[in-house]
A and B are shown apart, each in its own frame.
Chain A
Amino acid sequence: MFSKPAIGGALVIAALFGATLPQAVQAQAVQAQAVSAQAVPAKDAAKDLILAQGADPLGFNPTRFSAPNTSYLHQLYDTLVEIGPDGQPQPALAESWERSPDGLSVTFKLRPAKFHSGRPLTAQDVVYSVRYHLDPANAANLLARLSAVKGVEALDDRTVKLTLSSLAPGLYDLLSALFILDEKAVANIAQQDAGSGPFVLKSWTPGVSYTMERFADHWSNDKTKPDRITVRIVPDDAAGAALLQTRAVDVLYTAGPLALAQLKDAAGTKIERIKRAPRTHYLALNTSRPPLDNKLVRQAISHALNRDMITSVVYNDFASPSCQPWAESHWAYAPAVDTLCGYDLEKAKRLMKESGVGPFTMTVNTSTDSYAPGSVDTAQILKEDLAALGITLNIATYEPAKARELILNANFDMLLHNYIEGGNDPQFIIPSAIYGPTKGRTKFTSPAFEAIVDKAGKTLDLNERKAIYADISKLIADEAFMLPFAHEFRPIPMADGVKNFAMDGSGFSLLQQVEVAR
């Protein structure tokens, strides 16, 4: 008597569930068809490479440089040029190029290439891609740095001409991050790549993994080592470490402090430090908020920032202390500048006294480790030292979304954050919102800074540029509105048998030549 109505009730519930979520149910049916893609990938193929990263890619649009996207950018997409380890441009889709005598235009000759769709890649596609990046509606992350690009035109199927409004010394670094899109495939870019890179996207199961396979028609196919690259989504740091220890993955692409500690002496694994793409940690001082408008106060804070201790304690010696925007391995690095910002509390106290500013209270914005690694621990160290100067430091910690909002609106007294573009040409970061000089988030402006940054943009001579950037570094250290304090060499845990793992200057992975010995 009871059971029949109960069954009926269950059926009604099931029907209602189905009516409420018909698309979800359909999606499950689709999932059933594609179930093989959802399995944890088998690791029997000799030339398989398996990475683990913490979060899903945000679709396959290569104009978005969010961290989870960096594992596929150079794999699925090509660029006109690549930047070699020496910082100089090398041919990629463009097999050659020529700069006009006035330096304001560059003509690129394309090599024969195909998109993954099979369609030949032509100069028109390059034109489309540049314009796609320039359209604000597409919110390309490179847009703010493309202001020097005045125009682009296809001279013929294999020749494309880029016109510039200024010399744009960092042009080739920009082009090495400007990925070429297949116009015909862009509509479906949320779930399928639209590129011509050495690998083609084969499957993606959000939350589980995505797989890329070697693209047989790629122009550099003979250089490609893996047949297949699988990126598994492993949100938990400790789980990622466990998967590497049991060799269920070959590389832990996003490793937090927990995984690094767990893997420090783990058998069969190693931790490589990628020096080409350092993460530069900095303390930004908002110069529009007194007394941070006082240069002597800022200098005092700089000398109270214990760079050596932070590097050692917070970043476990995976970083080098510094007070300039780029690391020691960069061509623009000026050794003399790093002597200007030593930890010296007595000097800091003297500077505070000279400034005439009495004790005051400030807040430093920090964020969780996923967005600003080590910022909270750094703030704790800083708080102790600033207390000796009579500065009471409150530490505010925000989750990434709120932290980003505050940074974009320059809504902070002090900010502990980082950038990862320091491996690129200095033009990538100095004119940007990070340092200013006119629209920087620290609100620091000075005619001298503007003039010297302007000068840096007007020459292509490397020696001349080195001298100018040394002066810029010196000015930044002296004015102390931005206090870079550590260049963290990204630690990538991997199995002992993995070779040739690399990254470009922006921290985008280069997996084409990775070899895996089982």
Chain B
Amino acid sequence: MSENSNNVQDSLFPEYLNGKITCKPDAVHEPIDGGYPMAPGQLYPTEAGTLFHAGNILIALVGLPATSKTLLAVAMTRYTRWLGVRTRSFHVSEYRRHKSHKKISLNLEFEQEMVDEVINDMKDFFENKRGQIAIFDSLNILRSDRQNLVKLFGDINVKVLFIESILTDAELVNENIEIALRSNQYLNWRKEDAVDYYTKKLSITESQYEQITREEQCSYLKYINFGKQLIINHNNQFGYLINKIVFFLMNLRNKTSRVYLARCGRSNSDKYKDDELLNDEGIRYSKVLTDLVLKRVKLNRQGKELDSESLTIWAGPRKRTIDTGMFFLEEGFTLQERSQLKQLQPGNVVDLSFEEIQSKFPKEYVEYLKDPYHYRFSRAESYHDLAVRMEPLLLELEHMKRDVLIIAHESTLRILYGYLLACTSVDVPKLEFSRYVLTEITFGPFSNTVERIPIK
């Protein structure tokens, strides 16, 4: 079977750029200094690179241990960076882990030292790193701590919003303790030690905990049982950006599920214009893909049996893409055709190789190379356009608790990967998704992980 890539639109973009990127780890914790090429879904910056005239904001999480604060902090960072906001999350637990390699007993003085260090770094982030949103992942369960934050950051013209995570649902609480015990903080701990440490910490903090009340007169959002209920009390003073974050939080769910990304199989001409069904090779591919994905899903469920609810398949709205998912239907799974997965509209460069573009549209080609993420060929979409149009789908991904396989064109896979692994706008157009490789991304509370599995 020929590798007829010279006329294939979808293999065109990465190959002629400086180096493809085949696998990039989660960059959601990358520091953002100076000219960090902010993220894919960026709309339009205003003065000084801050978005939406929203000013500088400190989001401080509030809540007992194991109330998903870390997960919330990281998820908000990922989403706002994707919007183009200069956001960074600051986790006291990480500072503690780096400072002390031995298993420490609870030491309140040491805890306070850590908190002070984080606060200094957050101030530095606003004052010297052009940061717009800092997310403070700490307990903040004392009223006096919160008042202190409002004062400290008010002095440097940063508004403070508290997000208090409250869990009353016993099932969710247990789920969270499980997740917390698997986090970095308890890396290489014996399980009994971790449980013991954790229980102690919980009992100390529980007795001190002062929930936020209206009388405190601060701006807050109560996030109850992971979005089941929200109470918002900020007098709408933050505007579009914070409302957009609330919107995101309404869609977010805690999950440890996986997202699988795969290309469709081959068709005879493999052209954009011919919307064909798969050829024989393509059908063989889709069979192998089906077996591999089901094997992985099963493996990750640690022995639990598969049922039709274990996995959902989303396919782009093209014949060969949907055709690639057909064997899953036979296995009893649901396949949804998703119009948002429509590939990057190629416009006038449809089905042209890179050399052909270069000779036919030399001027456009030069412009394209300058900024592949934002450049639009005539009648075409840019990656930026594509990201904006795919936002509802990304939010739906955040909402799903079950595994999902996405079969789509390389351009849309780049956007999905770019969001899930916090890639920069420079990286996204270079990401490579070859056929014959299945990408498996696992949601984690602190970072998402990725594995590339060959499809044989």
- Is the pairing of A and B real? no
**B residues engaging A (CB < 8 A)?**
none
